[in-house]
Amino acid sequence: MNRPVAAPDTRDIEIERKRLTDALAETWKTPSGIWGALATVDHKIIGRRYIVTAFVFLGLGGVLAALMRIQLAQPEARLLGPDRYNQIFTMHGANMMFLFAVPVMEAVAVYLVPLMVGTRNIAFPRLNAFSYWIYLAGGTLLWTAFALDMGPDVGWFAYVPLSGPQYGAGKRADIWAQMITFTEISALAVAVELVVTIFKQRTPGMTLDRIPVFVWAMLVTSFLVIMAMPAIVLASTSLILDRLVGTHFFNPAEGGDVLLWQHLFWFFGHPEVYIIFLPAAGMVSTMIEPFARRPAFGYLGLVMALIATGILAFGLWVHHMFVAGLPRLGDSFFTASSMAIAIPAGIQVFCWLATLWDGRLVFKTPLLFIIGFIVTFVIGGLTGVMVASVPFDTQVHDTYFVVAHFHYVLIGGAVFPLLAAIHYWFPKLTGRMLNEALGQWSFWLIFVGFNATFFPMHILGLEGMPRRVYTYQPDLPWHGLNLFISLSAVILIAGFLLFFINAFRSARVGEVARDNPWDAPTLEWATTSPPPSYNFPMIPVVGSLHPLWDDRDSLAVANGLRTDRRELVVTTLAAAEPQAREASPRNSIWPLWAAIATTIMLIWSMFSPWAVVWGSVPVAVALMGWFWPKGTPEDES
């Protein structure tokens, strides 16, 4: 790994382009072979892995959803027993929230944010590699447990006492709680990386008011992760302690409190919803520009709405507890705050409508998904206003009405934008275009299938069907709608299958993409599709919010970075003025060892508290290896 100290003439300013790109490729490369793949810290490779893994979990979660719909298609069906069904709905919720929705948004950001801010790698790239391995381990733990009939069966929010030591037998609830620990660690790691990347690695000239809205959204989201996750760390750790070492945090007989769990969980759990939705909103604001052929209307309003949502997100958690018997006056405060969040959501919707109104629209698949998003998300937002009202909520809480509501918000509000984003950024991810005809087909199937599946659930809820029931009795008039829903789900599943087929096929034989196939204005399109390992041969300098539109012919570049070692430009927080050249770590296998050591410790600690003591020794060894100076050029700077 040792290299001779570089001569001064290896600064990029002095050498011609070919030599420049060759030198950069050599410096930033990921060696081929399995070892190279395991040791890489390239944010693009890790981001792609993250995205693919998250979509695998989406597919698995979808299979569980299909099983539930087969079971519920008729009353008193015996396809699944209560034990298996309860594992399946818990797995579906936990998987979709913790292993798909949150990670996939962070995954897209891991790939895109460094490109959109014009830097060569994400901040703390080894931590990034570590976060992926930890995420993969958490997902594998959960699904392995499920395959062994040890899957959690207490619901994705695992209310005590049901998940406590007395009623949650075996290791099922521990597996849920420890899976949360894995996803906490990986989400916190990515959040820190993104905050630092966005604050300190923006390319020169990218002042605060020139940051793409998606990057703003990820900044707000990352702060939400950093502030919300400690609550769930506390909750899941206390639960494990109650279960493993006999503490009584949640045992009312010993002075504990059952509702403490709900407060802690939802103090995390409600911001969690915005951790999923804000990136999606940011994607829409960013993607709408090339398809409306104009800048998104109301940049300041869009960014302020994201920030306002992020702040309000912490003041709503009690609306999940309106029927738990808290003081009514307190409930009213949370009604007001929950209603208020409709205002920033409204601002964004109106800005998007204004953009579409004034734009010259290009009806490609991403725009279709954006339109589908507006149609369905507004429904989800309005039913959100409904359940924010305490009296309304006393009738629909924990019914299929709520199931409909949060699927409208999560699928309509987050998965539709995500699918738009995959269609939009696929060329940047793979170098090939997704097939447009298949894309439009999959949109229509998903859009029709989604609404036919989930809209009737509003009615079922009002007709008295509680959620999380493994069956219902034939004397209740829910049979017809349930059958209709199950049949509609076939259309929805067909749409997703078509999307997956399209992605597989296009990744291999799709039309080769140009650098900027959509004529988009943001920096990720200023490099090749897919980008080289060093992202940009020379660091672009921006003078506006839409550099590729406003400086169509030539983008200014910064120079002065070394090519023989990994270097980035660090800029000031507000004005993005160049501050320093900063070394960026090389590939390393140690994040993988650290992740394996952490995984062993966390799984072992479900069985013995001593795991925390002895299991931390390998973790410490791995961290020492991670940070030990290797004598690389980067260590010297």
Partner 1 sequence: MIHLRRACSSALLAAPLAGCSGNWQSALDVYGTSAISLKHLIILIVAVCSLVWMLVMVALIAALWRSRDARPVSPEPGRERRLTIAVTGAVVATVLIISTFTIMSFVATRALSVAGQDELTIRVRGLQWWWGLEYIGPDPTSRFETANEIHIPVGRNVRLKLEGLDVIHSFWVPSLAGKQDLVPGRSNELTIRAEHAGIYRGQCAEFCGMQHAHMALLVIAEPQADYDTWAATQRQAAARPTDEETATGLQTFLAKPCAACHTIRGTAAAGTTGPDLTHVGGRRTIAAGLFETTRGSLAAWTADPQTIKPGNNMPMVPLTPDELRAMSAYLASLK
Binding to partner 1 in span 436-475, by CB under 8 A: 462-464, 466-475
Say whether residue 350 binds partner 1 (CB under 8 A): yes
Output 16 or 475, the one with its CB closest to partner 1: 475
Q: Which is nearer to partner 1, 120 or 172 (CB)?
A: 172
- Three-state DSSP at 552 gives coil
Site for partner 1 in 227-256 (CB under 8 A): 252-253, 256
The CA distance from 513 to 430, in Å, is 9
Q: Interface residues for partner 1 in 603-622 (CB under 8 A)? A: none
Burial 77-88 (b: 16+ CB within 10 A, else e): eeebeeebbbbb
Q: Judged by CB, which is closer to partner 1: 67, or 258? A: 258
* 495 C-beta neighbours (distance < 10 Å), count: 21
Nearer to partner 1 by C-beta: 551 or 582?
Answer: 551
Tokens of 88: 């399946």
Count of residues engaged in binding partner 1, rule: CB under 8 A: 86
The CB-of-443 to partner 1 minimum distance in angstroms stands at 15
Shortest distance (Å) from residue 153 CB to partner 1: 8
Best CA proximity match to 399, nearest among 465, 455, 341, 463: 465
What lies within 8 Å, CB to CB, of 140 at 6+ separation is none
Q: Smallest distance, Å, CB 467 to partner 1?
A: 8
- Could you say which of 36, 155, 578, 625 contacts partner 1 (CB under 8 A)? 155
Q: Per rule CB under 8 A, is residue 287 in the interface with partner 1?
A: no
Look up residue 228 and give its two tokens. Answer: 């919300």
CA angle 465, 468, 469 (to 5 degrees): 65
Show contacts with partner 1 in window 12-41 (CB under 8 A).
none
Residues in 184-223 at the binding interface with partner 1, rule: CB under 8 A: none
Candidates 281, 347, 446, 493; binder of partner 1 (CB under 8 A) is 347
φ/ψ bin of 134: left (φ > 0), alpha (ψ from -120 to 50), beta (otherwise): alpha
Site for partner 1 (CB under 8 A): which residue of 13, 22, 35, 82?
82
Task: Say whether 320 sits in a helix, a strand or coil.
Answer: helix
Burial of 606-615, coded b for 16+ CB within 10 Å and e otherwise, reads beeeebeeeb
Q: Smallest distance, Å, CB 360 to partner 1?
A: 6
CA-based end-to-end distance of the chain: 15
Minimal distance in Å, beta carbon 389 to partner 1? 4
Judged by DSSP in three states, 466 sits in strand
User: Interface with partner 1 includes 159 (CB under 8 A)?
Assistant: yes
Which residues from 357-416 bind partner 1, rule CB under 8 A?
357-361, 371, 374-375, 378-379, 382-383, 385-386, 388-399
**Closer residue to partner 1 in complex, CB, 128/365:** 365
| Segment 469 to 528, residues that bind partner 1, using CB under 8 A | 469-477
Please give the full DSSP string across 257-306, using - where no structure is assigned: -HHHHHHHHHHHHHHHHHHHHHHHHHHHHHHHHHHHTSPPS-HHHHHHHH
Identify residues 294-323 at the interface with partner 1 (CB under 8 A).
294-295, 297-298, 301, 323
